[in-house]
A and B are shown apart, each in its own frame.
Chain A
């Protein structure tokens, strides 16, 4: 079975631009979470979606938004990019709501560089 897939793998943008990152969960998984991993740090939680509804939000500005589609794939959007948004963006999927016992499976990530 295919794992979590993310696109694109790498992306270079300039300050002030907008970016959309995409994630396809493992088949049968209904929950998608997004994490930001800045170089040298652990991943930080951004959003969780379950059954197309936002179920959790981390401490990120409103420039960050996301949505989940009927096929459970997801998009993460970031507006007005800042240099500090440069990071590896990870998507994780889980079968259920992801409450504790639900293992999260991570994709390979999208490396975003903001110049």
Chain B
């Protein structure tokens, strides 16, 4: 079984500052890792995913994440945030060989202030 822990429920940051949203996972098997973003009153949009290969993954809207197997982490980063990045961010895991259902963390609300 897999589980995901998002360490911060809320992250306030000023516009143009860097941000890191933390995600740790637990699994007895190898995993695929994902970050999704949810804007108010909308569904989830895929930001990026780690399947295999390079541990640094680049996604849409300038976001990137690094897979660290020894620390079982998959933190999301952006060097300079915009007001439009204000949203809720979800880290998710899927076990390799599983039926593909995603296990989500509880989410981190990113608030970008002017």
What is A's interface to B at a CB cutoff of 8 Å? 4, 31, 33, 35, 40-45, 48, 55-56, 58, 90, 92, 94, 97-109
Contact = CB atoms under 8 A, between A and B. Distances in A.
- Tell me what chain A mostly uses at the interface: helix, strand, loop, or mixed: loop
A106 B39 CA distance: 13
B100 A41 contact: no
Interface residues of B, number: 27
Contacts, number: 75
Interface string B32-70: 100010000111111001010000000000000000000
A100 B32 contact: yes
A100 B98 contact: yes
Contacts of A4: 43
A56 B100 contact: yes
Interface of B: 4, 32, 36, 41-46, 49, 51, 90, 92, 94-107
Given A41-B107, A42-B105, A103-B49, A48 B100 contact: yes
Contacts of B99: 48, 55-56, 97-99
